């Protein structure tokens, strides 16, 4: 994955008197960044799902109760609430998150919290105690009284220091946080003042006109009365949810020429027949500046009512029927009628209302008993606080349904004004079609057979209007052939109109015409054909006189596709031969080639993988490092070893390869468990020194392979292995899935190990100790393999081998004479030992110099640069095929590139591809672009 630290860079000035700036970056995600809310939500979800087996009820509740970093929930009794809170604290504490500021309306629960050590803020709960009010998702809440109220003290201070301008009014409106709509009838008055300011074209910082300033000052004087608005937090009064037998949501809507809105109430019936009705929510909007009739505004209110009711129904945790009320007879008539009968404005909105609600649930209510009327006109804050109509709905809503207003919809003459005008149908015996256009646009279709079927159905419809005999049922072959002939004549008239006119008038066509050499003529059906010179042959009439089709024609393109499908997606010659058995398209081969290039099936068959220029060798392979500093790991097996006289067991070989010196180390283990793999890794580290980087195949690459590979995949993701690697400060790097060539420096050595083992072992059955010995000898042999060119000249030194790096002082290795002389027959004095260390260092530098001059220079030309010329890079959103396990490309999965991963050289090396099975990371060598973007 690419590092993203640079995305959080910032400048820091250490000395305020200096102009020098230092670039630093944050190591943690900041609050307020775009991904921050997602990261928080994903982290919480992870920990809740992790603990769902231990705390199923609490985790399910927490998944639905968090709003960013706020937890809002409830319980039916103190015991359940205490259990939920303690479990919540434990779950989040394990994640390193401490839940604080617990608050409740139950004094008993507060005492229980203190006993178990849960942190509360009871000293800042109510305004009566002079503290800061508790906020629940932005709304002030008094836990002692369990009410929601509005603290306007800060807002009053702002009003005292502000001035009457459009900018200031908008600031005040934005500071009133009322998402549920408790204060709708009061706030709508300020919205209307702002709308008047816009209509009057007042600048942002100009003083208000006297008429509007009076309304503004009146509204400000009433603002202080909002402290009287107190709403019970619990919707169901003094009852528990289990005591109710049914719930209804009643939605009222109304409109005036100034504004329209809707208000919803929850009506519940208990087992003993008690009915409670409480305010749910409301929403209001000012009427658009473009003048609308009152019935249309009422209809907008009804639409707002249906939308809000649908959203509320989704949020309720219990089933509730929805009923809708309006005091507009016209709207009731429209909603219960047929939407298509009305003009577009009414039709579109009635259709949506009918989709969101049942027609039978809409009823008419008296205007004086409609609480939504308060939203359309507005009322003072003091009246709002004591309005029973607003907080509990009309009085009859608290009574049984037989006391509700009757559902009578009277047909209104005003409603008929929105009826769509009817058009008189005129039928003639002759249908005239303009030559410049046909019934529909061919560019919208990709199948000629479908075009012919639609054409046939259109002709049937026209014949039916003319009251002519009409076929029924599926389209016959004769009808389809006639439809094709109609399209051919239409295309010919469109392109060859001048030629047709001269032929019909008995004149010869112009020599400049592209059809001149074809000697065209009109047949009995007025279709333009090639005359040809094969009339005496035994060919059919269509083969002798093929139909002429224009080359630049959508119909010709569709016809080529059809014939191409008939020859089972044959090549250009097969398709062209099939076409010319009946049709003649000028420059046909060129046109067929162009059309066949767009055939998706043929393109899949001939696809080639994406290409990219050969990448540079990574630094960890071409920089001097002690042996096995950068190591590749691979494995093979099983190898059968003898564990007793008549019993055998499986063992496995782990290969450790140095990426720089190409030295190798082999370990034999008795099974593929994490424990034994870590033991072999410990033996390797003990013998070969500290390893800094380990490179291996990605664990995901082994999912679809045999059982042994899947076992190794489990080891790579095991927690114990990750802990061991972390303790030893080893960086473990994975190559991309299904890209073994990325680990070619160790993959190739696996073959070098298997070949001598097959030759040495044959059918022999060895013990564990014998097999370990054989592997050590194979390891020694392979570590003596030459890394550089072996010369035929006796005077040339022996080639460089991995052993030179593993044992640089060994005498049987090839070194210059002056290196070896100082090591023979010298007493171990201080001076000699010092000289020995100096020459040992020179010897190592000699080996590394030979490695650089011979081995690295050889690597420079070992691989030719493939595609050194610029290639087309893959792009996000491109449709591609992913190479699968089967040879047939038609069975490979289709995908879309979600993201591209750029290598060190700035070229794309792998991609994240979205398929039907999720997102997959694949190298570009396994991606086949379809060139459909």
Q: Which two tokens stand for residue 645?
A: 């006289």
Task: Give per-residue pLDDT as tens, 94-131.
Answer: 888 888 888 888 888 888 888 888 888 764 445 455 55
Distances (CA, A) of 460 to 423, 457, 465: 22, 5, 9
More confidently predicted of 759 and 923:
923
More confidently predicted of 929 and 411:
929
DSSP letter assigned to residue 372: T
Neighbours of 745 (CB within 10 A): 18
* Range name among 111-120, 270-279, 311-320, 609-618 with the lowest pLDDT average: 609-618
Sheet holding 134-136, edge to edge: 134-136, 139-142, 147-149, 230-232
Residues 908-922 have a mean pLDDT of 88
* Range name among 209-223, 321-335, 352-366, 464-478 with the lowest pLDDT average: 464-478
Rounded to whole angstroms, how far apart are CA atoms 381 and 187? Answer: 9
Q: According to the model, what pLDDT value does residue 787 have?
A: 78
Which residues, listed in sequence order, are joined to residue 282 by a DSSP beta bridge? Answer: 263
Cβ neighbours of residue 821 closer than 8 Å, sequence gap 6 or more: none
Rounded to whole angstroms, how far apart are CA atoms 710 and 698? Answer: 11
Q: Is the pLDDT of residue 713 over 70?
A: no
Q: Contact 385/228 with Cβ under 8 angstroms?
A: yes
Q: Is the pLDDT of residue 283 over 70?
A: yes
Which residues, listed in sequence order, are joined to residue 633 by a DSSP beta bridge? Answer: 656
Q: According to the model, what pLDDT value does residue 438 have?
A: 53
Q: Which two tokens stand for residue 297?
A: 């505004």
Q: Is the pLDDT of residue 649 over 70?
A: yes
Q: Contact 283/306 with Cβ under 8 angstroms?
A: no
Rounded to whole angstroms, how far apart are CA atoms 876 and 595? Answer: 26
- Per the listing, tokens 């070619």 go with 744
Phi, psi of 265 (to 5 degrees): -130, 145
Residues 699-720 have a mean pLDDT of 60
Task: Give per-residue pLDDT as tens, 14-58.
Answer: 888 888 888 888 887 777 788 888 888 898 899 989 898 989 998
**Confidence at 817, pLDDT banded by 50, 70, 90:** very low
Rounded to whole angstroms, how far apart are CA atoms 470 and 472? Answer: 7
- Ordered alpha helix ranges (H), 200-236: 210-223
Q: Contact 143/103 with Cβ under 8 angstroms?
A: yes
Rounded to whole angstroms, how far apart are CA atoms 847 and 858? Answer: 16
Q: According to the model, what pLDDT value does residue 892 have?
A: 82
Q: According to the model, what pLDDT value does residue 427 have?
A: 43
Q: Is the pLDDT of residue 258 over 80?
A: yes
Find the length of the chain: 933
Q: What is the mean pLDDT of the chain?
A: 82
Rounded to whole angstroms, how far apart are CA atoms 928 and 894? Answer: 10
Bridging pattern class, strands 275-286 and 259-270: antiparallel
- Ordered alpha helix ranges (H), 7-152: 36-50, 56-65, 78-94, 107-116
Q: Which two tokens stand for residue 614?
A: 């050969």
Q: According to the model, what pLDDT value does residue 709 have?
A: 54
Residues 778-806 have a mean pLDDT of 74
Task: Give per-residue pLDDT as tens, 505-539.
Answer: 888 888 888 888 888 888 888 889 888 777 777 78
Rounded to whole angstroms, how far apart are CA atoms 259 and 378? Answer: 9
Most confident residue range from 277-286, 504-513, 612-621: 277-286
Q: Which two tokens stand for residue 642?
A: 């003898």
Q: Contact 888/633 with Cβ under 8 angstroms?
A: no
Q: According to the model, what pLDDT value does residue 399 have?
A: 92
Rounded to whole angstroms, how far apart are CA atoms 516 and 371? Answer: 83
Neighbours of 496 (CB within 10 A): 21
Q: Contact 594/558 with Cβ under 8 angstroms?
A: no
Residues 310-330 have a mean pLDDT of 92
More confidently predicted of 534 and 503:
503
Q: According to the model, what pLDDT value does residue 926 have?
A: 85
Residues 450-454 have a mean pLDDT of 90
Distances (CA, A) of 43 to 37, 65, 102: 10, 15, 21
- In this prediction the pTM is 0.47
Distances (CA, A) of 86 to 49, 102, 242, 486: 17, 11, 25, 80
Rounded to whole angstroms, how far apart are CA atoms 344 and 418? Answer: 9
Most confident residue range from 80-84, 281-285, 496-500, 730-734: 281-285
Q: Is the pLDDT of residue 486 over 80?
A: yes
Cis peptide preceding 638, ω within 30 of 0: yes
Q: Is the pLDDT of residue 260 over 90?
A: yes
Question: Which helix H or strand E contains 800, and what residues bound it?
Answer: none
* Range name among 42-51, 86-95, 131-140, 171-180 with the lowest pLDDT average: 131-140
Most confident residue range from 257-271, 485-499, 699-713, 881-895: 257-271
Rounded to whole angstroms, how far apart are CA atoms 328 and 914? Answer: 52
Q: Is the pLDDT of residue 644 over 80?
A: no
Q: Which two tokens stand for residue 312?
A: 């509320």
Task: Give per-residue pLDDT as tens, 761-770.
Answer: 777 778 888 8
Residues 851-875 have a mean pLDDT of 64
Domains and CATH numbers, the chain: 1-122 (no CATH), 235-403 (3.30.420.10), 442-606 (1.10.340.70), 625-788+797-806 (3.30.420.10), 878-929 (2.30.30)
Phi, psi of 520 (to 5 degrees): -70, 155
Q: What one-character-per-residue DSSP string does 860-873 give?
A: HTTS--TT-S--PP
Q: Contact 397/251 with Cβ under 8 angstroms?
A: no
Neighbours of 822 (CB within 10 A): 15
Structure-derived torsion over alpha carbons of residues 441, 445, 447, 448, reported in degrees to the nearest 10: 0
Neighbours of 836 (CB within 10 A): 15
Which residues, listed in sequence order, are joined to residue 148 by a DSSP beta bridge? Answer: 141, 231
Rounded to whole angstroms, how far apart are CA atoms 151 and 533? Answer: 99
Sign of the torsion formed by the C-alpha atoms of 866, 868, 872 and 874: positive
- Per the listing, tokens 């849960």 go with 118
Residues 307-319 have a mean pLDDT of 92
- Ordered alpha helix ranges (H), 728-885: 744-761, 768-783, 803-806, 817-821, 830-850, 857-860
């Amino acid at each position: 994955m690419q590092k993203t630290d640079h995305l959080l860079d910032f400048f820091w000035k250490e000395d305020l008197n200096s102009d020098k700036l230092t670039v630093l970056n944050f190591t943690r995600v900041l609050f307020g960044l775009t991904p921050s809310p997602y990261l928080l939500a994903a982290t919480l979800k992870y920990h809740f799902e992790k603990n769902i087996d231990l705390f199923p009820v609490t985790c399910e509740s927490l998944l639905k109760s968090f709003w960013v970093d706020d937890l809002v929930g409830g319980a039916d009794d103190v015991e359940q609430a205490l259990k939920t809170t303690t479990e919540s604290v434990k779950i989040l504490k394990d994640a390193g998150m401490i839940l604080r500021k617990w608050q409740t309306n139950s004094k008993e629960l507060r005492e229980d919290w203190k006993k178990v050590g849960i942190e509360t803020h009871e000293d800042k709960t109510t305004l009566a105690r002079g503290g800061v009010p508790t906020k629940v998702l932005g709304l002030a809440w008094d836990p002692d009284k369990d009410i929601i109220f509005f603290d306007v003290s800060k807002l009053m201070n702002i009003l005292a220091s502000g001035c009457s301008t459009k900018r200031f009014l908008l600031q005040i409106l934005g500071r009133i946080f009322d998402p549920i709509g408790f204060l709708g009838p009061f706030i709508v008055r300020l919205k209307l003042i702002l709308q008047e300011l816009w209509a009057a074209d007042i600048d942002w910082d100009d003083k208000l006109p006297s008429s509007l300033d009076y309304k503004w000052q009146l509204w400000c004087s009433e603002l202080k009365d909002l402290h009287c608005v107190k709403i019970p937090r619990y919707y169901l009064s003094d009852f528990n949810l289990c005591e109710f037998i049914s719930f209804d949501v009643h939605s009222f809507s109304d409109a005036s020429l100034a504004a329209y809105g809707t208000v919803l109430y929850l009506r519940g019936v208990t087992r003993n027949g008690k009915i409670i009705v409480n305010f749910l929510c409301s929403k209001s909007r000012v009427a658009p500046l473009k003048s609308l009739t009152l019935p249309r505004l009422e209809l907008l209110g009804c639409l707002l009512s249906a939308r809000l009711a649908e959203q509320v129904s989704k949020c309720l945790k219990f089933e509730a029927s929805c009923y809708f009320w309006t005091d507009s007879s016209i709207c009731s008539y429209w909603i219960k009628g047929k939407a298509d009968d009305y003009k577009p404005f009414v039709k579109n909105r009635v259709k949506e209302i009918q989709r969101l609600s049942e027609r039978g649930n809409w009823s008419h209510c008296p205007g004086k008993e409609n609480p939504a009327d308060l939203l359309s006109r507005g009322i003072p804050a003091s009246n709002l606080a004591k309005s029973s109509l607003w907080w509990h709905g009309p009085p009859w809503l608290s009574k049984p349904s037989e006391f509700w207003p009757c559902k009578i919809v009277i047909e209104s003459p005003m409603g008929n004004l929105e009826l769509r005008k009817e058009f008189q149908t005129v039928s003639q015996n002759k249908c005239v079609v303009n030559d410049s256009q046909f019934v529909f646009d061919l560019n919208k279709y990709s199948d000629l057979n479908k075009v012919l079927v639609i054409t046939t159905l259109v002709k049937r419809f026209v014949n039916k209007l003319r009251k002519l005999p009409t076929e029924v049922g599926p389209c016959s072959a004769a009808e389809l052939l006639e439809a094709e002939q109609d399209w051919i004549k239409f295309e010919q008239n469109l392109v060859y109109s001048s030629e047709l006119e001269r032929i019909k008038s008995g004149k010869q066509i112009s020599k400049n015409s592209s059809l001149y050499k074809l000697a065209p003529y009109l047949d009995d059906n007025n279709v333009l054909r090639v005359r040809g010179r094969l009339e005496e042959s035994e060919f059919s009439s269509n083969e002798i006189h093929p139909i002429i089709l224009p080359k630049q024609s959508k119909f010709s393109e569709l016809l080529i596709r059809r014939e191409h499908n008939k020859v089972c997606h044959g090549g250009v010659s097969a398709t062209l031969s099939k076409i010319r058995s009946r049709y003649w398209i000028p420059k046909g081969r060129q046109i067929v080639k162009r059309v066949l290039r767009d055939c998706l099936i043929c393109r899949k068959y001939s696809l080639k993988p994406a290409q990219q220029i050969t990448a540079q060798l990574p630094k960890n392979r071409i920089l001097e490092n002690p042996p096995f500093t950068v190591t590749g790991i691979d494995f093979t097996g099983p190898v059968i070893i003898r564990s007793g006289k008549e019993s055998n067991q499986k063992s496995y070989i782990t290969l450790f390869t140095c990426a720089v010196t190409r030295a190798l180390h082999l370990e034999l283990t008795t099974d593929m468990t994490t424990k034994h793999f870590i033991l072999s890794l410990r033996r390797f580290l003990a013998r070969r020194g500290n390893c800094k980087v380990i490179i291996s195949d990605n664990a995901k690459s082994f999912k679809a392979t045999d059982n042994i590979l899947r076992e190794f995949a489990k080891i790579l993701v095991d927690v114990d292995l990750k802990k061991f690697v972390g303790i030893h400060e080893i960086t473990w790097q994975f190559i991309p899935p299904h890209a073994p060539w990325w680990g070619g420096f160790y993959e190739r050595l696996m073959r070098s190990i298997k070949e001598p083992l097959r030759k040495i072992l044959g059918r022999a059955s060895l013990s564990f100790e014998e097999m370990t010995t054989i592997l050590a000898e194979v390891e020694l042999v392979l570590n003596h393999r030459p890394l550089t060119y072996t010369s035929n000249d006796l005077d040339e030194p022996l080639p460089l081998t991995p052993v030179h790096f593993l044992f640089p002082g060994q005498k049987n290795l090839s070194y210059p004479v002056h290196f070896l002389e100082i090591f023979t027959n010298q007493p171990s004095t201080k001076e000699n030992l010092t000289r020995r260390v100096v020459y040992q260092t020179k010897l190592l530098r000699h080996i590394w110099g030979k490695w650089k001059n011979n081995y690295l220079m050889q690597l420079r030309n070992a691989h030719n640069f493939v595609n050194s010329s610029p290639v087309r890079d893959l792009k996000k959103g491109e449709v591609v095929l992913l190479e699968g396990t089967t040879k047939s490309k038609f069975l490979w999965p289709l995908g879309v590139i979600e993201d591209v991963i750029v290598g060190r050289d700035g070229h794309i090396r792998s991609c994240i591809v979205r398929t039907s099975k999720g997102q997959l990371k694949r190298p570009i060598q396994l991606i086949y672009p379809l060139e459909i973007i």
